[in-house]
């Protein structure tokens, strides 16, 4: 499915899809940026610990954002009667 077909399919679900995406991504993104910026100017041991924690958290955040994208796609596909091919 190309971008135009996808845009036609999501018509009527755009704002709820944006809301779900933001609600899932924003809290984790805030933590990610807080760890990155918080590591600046710290002693090397503390900075390394914060950045390692941030790297692990980014892996979790990627799963959360991917899951949110799947939920959005599955929700729209179910409402429109379209198969995701999964």
Q: Could you read off the pLDDT of 25-57 as tens digits, one per residue?
A: 999 999 999 999 999 999 999 999 999 999 999
Look at residue 3 in the predicted model and tell me its pLDDT: 79
Q: What is the dihedral of CA 8, 14, 16, 19, to 10 degrees?
A: 140
Sign of the dihedral defined by the CA atoms of residues 73, 77, 83, 86, in that order: positive
Q: Where are the domains of the chain?
A: 23-79
Per-residue DSSP letter, 42: S
Per-residue pLDDT, averaged over 59-86, amounts to 89
């Amino acid at each position: 499915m190309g971008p135009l077909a996808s845009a036609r399919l999501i018509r009527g679900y755009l704002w709820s899809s944006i809301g779900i995406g933001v609600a899932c991504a924003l809290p984790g993104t805030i933590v990610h940026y807080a760890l990155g910026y918080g590591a600046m100017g710290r002693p090397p041991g503390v900075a390394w610990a914060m950045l390692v924690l941030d790297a692990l958290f980014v892996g979790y955040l990627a799963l959360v954002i991917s899951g949110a994208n799947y939920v959005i796609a599955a929700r729209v596909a179910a409402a429109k009667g379209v198969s995701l091919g999964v």
